[in-house]
Amino acid sequence: MQFDERTWEPFRSVRIQCVPKQEKGTFERGSKETVMLKRLLAATILAAAFGGAAVATDAKPTDPQIAHIAYTAGTIDIEAAQQALKKSKNPDVIEFAKTMERDHKAVNDQALALVKKLGVKPEDNPISKSLNANAAKERKTLASLKGAAFDKAYVANEVAYHKTVNGALSDTLIPSAQNAELKSLLESGLTLFQQHQAHAEHLATMVK
């Protein structure tokens, strides 16, 4: 079944409520509370992007759509890693970013080879579009940060991103995949990305 207009309903249901003006000192700009709220909102939007269609309808993504979503998710993390390699001076963050760039490129190359072999054309869809839009906003936010602030924000985003991607793979994309080779590639990717998540979570405890 193809995605239709109902696919967008979960996104339409998301509303950002106005918050009454706080007294000075309650929420200083750049405070930990503000950063945490921004990260929580970003993670919520990302989760909606992956899971929205399943909530809105009983439709499952098709194999061409799954291939596009998986490739898009990989490309987003490659671009995030490349941004980190340009901005970070932290050796641990640089090592992590290099690993993300290398591993996601390898998986994407395998995905391209598979769809070519199967004669499948990846199909763009609302989930892929939403992922790209949210990623562009995140890159813009990270571009405004420097030094330790950038490192902490980048690593925090990597933790949230891999957690959400891994959940989408295990709960939606892998169960929905019809082609055995595509399903196998997604399962291999999930194993690797779970290692990425653990790496990011460990790095988050080190970046101060």
In the predicted structure, residue 159 carries a pLDDT above the cut 80: yes
Give the pLDDT score at 59: 74
What mean pLDDT, rounded, does the chain reach? 81
State the average pLDDT over residues 107-122.
95
Which of 8-17, 34-43, 54-63 has the least mean pLDDT?
A: 8-17
CA distance 160 to 193: 12
Window from 47-61, 87-101, 125-139 with minimum mean pLDDT: 47-61
Q: How far apart are CA 86 and CA 115, in angstroms?
A: 32
- Domain 64-206 bears CATH identifier 1.20.1260.10: yes
* Confidence at residue 47, expressed as pLDDT on a 0 to 100 scale: 54
Q: What letter does residue 13 receive in the DSSP assignment?
A: T
pLDDT at 198: 98
In angstroms, rounded to a whole number, what is the distance separating the alpha carbons of residues 147 and 164?
Answer: 26
The gap from C-alpha 135 to its chain's centroid, in whole angstroms, comes to 7
Whole-number Å distance between alpha carbons of 97 and 108: 16
As a whole-number percent, the residues of the chain with pLDDT over 90 amount to 71
From first CA to last CA, the distance across the chain in angstroms is 47
195 vs 55, residue with greater confidence: 195
Calculate mean pLDDT across residues 144-173. Answer: 96
